Amino acid sequence: MDKIDAASDLILHSKRVVVFTGAGISTESGVSDFRSPGGIWDRFDPDEFTYQKFLSSSASREKYWEFSKSLWPAIVNAEPNRGHYAIAELYQMGKLDCVITQNIDSLHQKSGVPEETIIELHGTLKWVICLECGRRYPREQIQARLELGERVPRCDTCGGITKPATVAFGQPMPERETGEAEARSAACDLFLVAGSSLVVYPAAQMPLIAKDNGAKLIIVNLTPTPHDSYADIVIYEKVGEALPQIIERVKAKLKG
Ligand code: APR
């Protein structure tokens, strides 16, 4: 039996599938990942974009906003790809417990998975938040201000520091989302990783929590990850190729 077939069998025999995604699922939508050759951390120095740096000076915030401004066009114009739609089909089948994503591109929402079924561990680029008064701005609004020449957008209400609603290195993780992701990982019977290098914690702990609580583990990733030895099935293929094949096989088997 090939791995696609074996993976489809695991899904068939599961009731609560958690899908865990990283930037690798969005590369086929034209959104760079972080650690592939040519990825974001190949082109920018992550140490420049920590939370502490961001808070430390207006100059570092200006650098951060330049970085964020340059990435926005690829994100705002991105469309879900076959990998995202395969996960949406899992939801349609009633098999998907939730999607835990490290991604900030809202492509799971765009593909039709309901907001309440998605846990965004690293926040979202959709909003910009004032760190002082909490006022929320749609990212498009701030992008327009940046394109008009504003370099470090401040809150219109209180003059406070604003920041995209994403989680930067060194920034506290969102408590509710992290707790919810740990609980769902511990309670699922199948944990499917799609497009993540599994090197950033606490996110990368989720597949181990699932495995330690008796779930089966499938990893679909172009390159090896540190957790491959724990997995029941590892598929070194493009998510946009492998996931649709797996789902097609599940549907064929459901038809009998
Ligand atoms: N199909 C399958 N795998 C892919 C594809 C693809 N089309 N494209 C890239 N990959 C793989 C890469 O080989 C890599 O192992 O996806 C993985 C992406 O890993 P990262 O770039 O490290 O992205 P991610 O795992 O999401 O990073 C986690 O790091 O910088 C922080 O906050 C950021 O959320 C991000 C976190």
| Calpha distance 79→38 (Å, rounded) | 21
pLDDT of residue 152: 98
Work out the pLDDT band at 237, boundaries 50, 70, 90: very high
User: CA-based diameter of the chain, in Å?
Assistant: 62
Number of Cβ within 10 Å of residue 132's Cβ equals: 14
Question: What single string gives the DSSP state of each residue in 156-188?
Answer: TTT--BEEEEE--TTSPPPHHHHHHHHHHHHH-
Report the CATH fold assignment for 32-77+123-166: SIR2/SIRT2 'Small Domain' (3.30.1600)
Angle CA 26–68–197, to nearest 5: 35
Number of Cβ within 10 Å of residue 151's Cβ equals: 14
Domain boundaries, given as residue ranges, for the chain: 1-31+80-122+172-256, 32-77+123-166
**122 is annotated as an active-site residue:** yes
Amino acid type, 15: K
Is the model's pTM score more than 0.95?
yes
Average pLDDT, the chain: 97
Report the phi/psi class of residue 64: left, alpha or beta, with left for phi > 0 and alpha for psi in -120 to 50: alpha
pLDDT of 1 > 80? The answer is no
Q: Do residues 180 and 205 lie in contact, with contact meaning Cβ atoms separated by under 8 Å?
A: no
Q: Which of 32, 82, 122, 221 to mutate to test the pocket of ligand 1 (most atoms within 8 A of CB)?
A: 221
Report the CATH fold assignment for 1-31+80-122+172-256: Rossmann fold (3.40.50)
Q: Is 166 in the pocket of ligand 1 (CB under 6 A)?
A: no
Q: Is 219 in the pocket of ligand 1 (CB under 6 A)?
A: no
Select which of 13, 84, 108, 122 is catalytic.
122
pLDDT of residue 82: 98
